[in-house]
Chains A and B, each alone.
Chain A
Amino acid sequence: QSALTQPASVSGSPGQSITISCTGTSSDGGGYNYVSWYQQHPGKAPKLMIYDVSYRPSGVPDRFSGSKSGNTASLTISGLQAEDEADYYCSSYTSTNTVVFGGGTKLTVL
């Protein structure tokens, strides 16, 4: 149950777009469409931002979008805002009936 691979950190200026990648193997992440993305601010519980690779829960701004190609899922945030600064985690269902998270990516809004 190795974690999905995410970059440790990404940064961008307000108004810019950034993309966070999440790479797995064919037995996790890559093999299924049950990929989710979570946002976590310091000291807070995670918040679901994207589910089933590319769907947004109600209330999540359309600046957030998800996609997947092969074994790599991606979260793109366009029109960066200061409040987007947080940690972001991907997760996926695996072939062993478990859920695996990525190591997390710290987004800094410059």
Chain B
Amino acid sequence: EVQLLESGGGLVQPGGSLRLSCAASGFTFTTYAMSWVRQAPGKGLKWVSGISAGGGSTYYADSVKGRFTISRDNSKNTLYLQMNSLRADDTAVYYCAKAQSSGSGSYYRSFYYYGMDVWGQGTTVTVSS
């Protein structure tokens, strides 16, 4: 079964740090781009960050650039989001999501901006004093 399982959420004070993890199973993790998407309480979805399949290219929303770092360990089938200088408006449920792919062989592609076809259950981050 294709599955993503987030962990690492919790309560943190403003200015603090937290690292989220997303364990992947049931698919060849190393060949898919991935993203983090968050949802503040009662609000809509917001894309946070994306990373290429190999991990060499990363992308961020302006609201988190310079504070958050996305990374992946393909040997552990795990995606990460290091969050520093946390603010109250970072409070949200954080989802990791797998990007679709297209093509095969030398035409194979998976970009973070493709449709996100597998989502985790989310992990809650609360930034409050």
A binding-site residues for B, Cβ under 8 Å: 1, 3, 34, 36, 38, 40, 45-48, 50-52, 57, 87, 89, 91, 93, 97-104
B binding-site residues for A, Cβ under 8 Å: 35, 37, 44-47, 50, 59-63, 95, 97, 100, 112-117, 119-122
Residues B120 and A45 in contact, CB atoms below 8 Å apart: yes
Contact partner of A45 (CB less than 8 A), chosen from B35, B50, B95, B112, is B95
CA distance A76 to B59 in the complex (A): 31
Residues A100 and B117 in contact, CB atoms below 8 Å apart: no
Residues B45 and A89 in contact, CB atoms below 8 Å apart: yes
B43: shortest Cβ distance to chain A, in Å? Answer: 8
Chain A at the B interface: mostly helix, strand, loop or mixed? strand
With a 10 A CB-CB cut-off, give which of B44, B62, B121 has the most chain A CB atoms: B44
CA distance A104 to B44 in the complex (A): 6
Residues A99 and B35 in contact, CB atoms below 8 Å apart: yes
Residues B45 and A97 in contact, CB atoms below 8 Å apart: no
Residues B47 and A100 in contact, CB atoms below 8 Å apart: yes
CA distance A104 to B35 in the complex (A): 19
